[in-house]
Amino acid sequence: MPDIAYLGPPGTFTEQATRLLTEDFDAELVPCDTVPVALAAVRSGEVLAAGVPVENSVEGSVPATLDALTIDEPLVAVREAVIPVQFDVLARPGMTLERVETVASHPHALAQVRGWMGENLPKADVRAVSSTAAAAAAVADGDFDAAISAPVAGEHYPTLERLATGIADVRDAVTRFLLVRKPGTLPEPTGADRTSICAVISHEVGTLTDMLSELSLRGINLSRIESRPVKDSFGHYRFFLDFDGHVADARIGEALGALQRRCDSVRFLGSYPKADRAAAPVRPESSEQAFRESAEWLAAVREGRLA
Amino acid sequence: MPDIAYLGPPGTFTEQATRLLTEDFDAELVPCDTVPVALAAVRSGEVLAAGVPVENSVEGSVPATLDALTIDEPLVAVREAVIPVQFDVLARPGMTLERVETVASHPHALAQVRGWMGENLPKADVRAVSSTAAAAAAVADGDFDAAISAPVAGEHYPTLERLATGIADVRDAVTRFLLVRKPGTLPEPTGADRTSICAVISHEVGTLTDMLSELSLRGINLSRIESRPVKDSFGHYRFFLDFDGHVADARIGEALGALQRRCDSVRFLGSYPKADRAAAPVRPESSEQAFRESAEWLAAVREGRLA
């Protein structure tokens, strides 16, 4: 049974996501205090892989994960999971919403239920703790009356009762997670894949436009872009890019080759099936068949067989 | 001794260019009445190749050549020559500029010496004939007093005397010629090559920009572009493109493949050494070495060997 690290403590959304990411094999889930610790466990071989959050539709990206993926030995994402951000209110048995005087949770979670709390717990004292799971643990210990937690926390604290569920202000909020491991055989292309890279480019006029044109000209759909400063390299910017397609696809491979030549550095972060399994439409001129035919045409031209 | 066709009659700039294009082997030059006739002789195998004009720095392109290269069986250019457009005034022995009453030449030639004639032959009658060589022939026959001709015409009419030389109003005017033949082994890359293609694209917003971006993103320098209507296909445009580089070069091959996928059709018109032998600077990210390294990097990524 392989060990799989995740950003702990148990009872968080990351545990829920990591369970989903490993649902088809028997995995021993190992909570880690931070994302860098989880990734270090993968690099050292202590665990086979790690489940880490990369992006929240409300809160934005998870810088700790992005940064940790670009330093030290390369790791690649092999699976993706998208988890709805739905919060439960957990309390000790017998408690009711009307009697709640103290509520604890992680600051990000509190921010995402502010509207609901204003209506339903207007007088409660709000306490910030280190995680949504830690809040549930503290409630179980009798420190607070209620916790705003991930639904999975209820499984770790079965004595707690659910006073409310689905209380996030933004109904469709989701968090995206990746299962990352050491480089090795890539996941097979499925026709509904995503590729992630980190590219460093110099800070000159047009470099970003040119980089993006390498994708758009090949009909590649960009699903996410985010710049992060390069800490010790003035005048250079690091871009995290996610786009539809698998590195085994001709159009993706050619585009990645172009970026590798154009950019100061490119780190491949993985090609993996998209969580929504939605096939990306590929334009006729960017299809595998079109690339195959143009390669044959070019070979004929170069060999002087036709013009 | 191979036969080489050219746009006649003898004594024109095209003969001069075709001599230059074939100077390193014994060729029998065969004048043809029109460019299509010369190209048809190549296609039928009657001659090995043909010398044809493609572009004049003053008068512009030679539509008859461009059009004839895009229909029927493909032909490819294998050599390029650039000839200075310098005109001589040829007359029968004993004639002087002061006594010239009639001057004949091809209308294009007359247009290019208008300034000189205004100063030196202000009172002469100007007569348009079918070629600069025909003008010299007519002078030899006694029909006119003087001819504005290519310097090479003097060799065909040795009885004529040169009354003036280098009389073109534009000093640096040149005409570009190509030696075209049936597809076969391409000329070797020299580091100072030009590639010519004809591409047909649909008339939609952005298609031309996208086509040109395929070149610019790969650091390919466009030296000529000209659109010509596609006679029987409404909404489509034919573009003649010349750019630095050889189809054997990685950046050129990849760009041509991209155009082949993107355009309705692409006809390869040849890769050949540039007449000026001026090496085109290649950006580091577009060099053969950069392409080789990026291909190795991509192969490693695809095989999961590193990220």
Domain with CATH 3.40.190.10 in chain B: 1-84+170-184, 88-165
**C-alpha angle with apex A100: A98 to A106, nearest 5 degrees?**
135
* CATH number of the domain located at residue range(s) A1-84+172-183 in this protein: 3.40.190.10
Per-residue pLDDT of A254-307, as tens digits, reads 999 999 999 999 999 999 999 999 998 899 999 999 999 999 999 999 999 875
Cβ-Cβ contacts under 8 Å, A286 against chain B: 261
Q: Is the CB of A260 less than 8 angstroms away from the CB of B183?
A: no
CA distance B168 to B85: 7
Q: How far is CA B111 from CA A292, B92, B129, B150, B170, in A?
A: 51, 23, 13, 14, 11
**What's residue A228's pLDDT?**
84
**What stretches of chain B show up as alpha helix (H) in DSSP?**
13-21, 35-43, 63-70, 107-112, 114-120, 132-140, 153-156, 207-216, 250-262, 288-302
Contact of B30 with B3, CB cutoff 8 Å? yes
Cα A153 to the center of its chain, rounded Å = 20
Contact B186 A304 (CB under 8 A): yes
CA distance B182 to A304: 9
> Tens digit of pLDDT for each residue in B172-223?
889 999 999 999 999 999 999 999 999 999 888 888 999 999 999 999 999 9
In this prediction, residue A307 carries a pLDDT of 52
State the span(s) of chain A assigned CATH 3.40.190.10: 1-84+172-183, 88-165
Q: Are B85 and B59 in contact (CB under 8 A)?
A: no
Nearest-by-CA chain A residue for B252:
A298
Give residue B292's Cα distance to chain centre. Answer: 33
Side-chain-facing half-sphere of A284: CA atoms under 13 Å:
5
What tokens appear for A102 in the block? 């103290």
CATH of domain A88-165: 3.40.190.10
For chain A, which ranges sit under pLDDT 50? none
For A4, A127, A189, A280, B266, the CA distances from A289, given in Å and listed in that order, are 39, 58, 15, 16, 17
Q: Are B77 and B269 in contact (CB under 8 A)?
A: yes
Grade residue B307 by pLDDT with cuts at 50, 70 and 90.
low
Asked if the model's pLDDT at residue B57 lies above 80, the reply is no
**What are B's interface residues with A at a Cβ cutoff of 8 A?**
74-76, 183-186, 210, 213-214, 217-218, 247-248, 253-254, 256-258, 260-262, 266-270, 285-286, 290-291, 293-295, 297-298, 301-302, 304-307
How large is the ipTM? 0.87
Domain with CATH 3.30.70.260 in chain B: 185-307
- Superfamily holding B1-84+170-184: Periplasmic binding protein-like II (3.40.190.10)
Task: Please state which architecture CATH assigns to domain A185-307.
Answer: 2-Layer Sandwich (3.30)
Distance from CA of A252 to the nearest CA of B (A): 10
- β-bridge mates for residue A177, sequence order: A53, A81
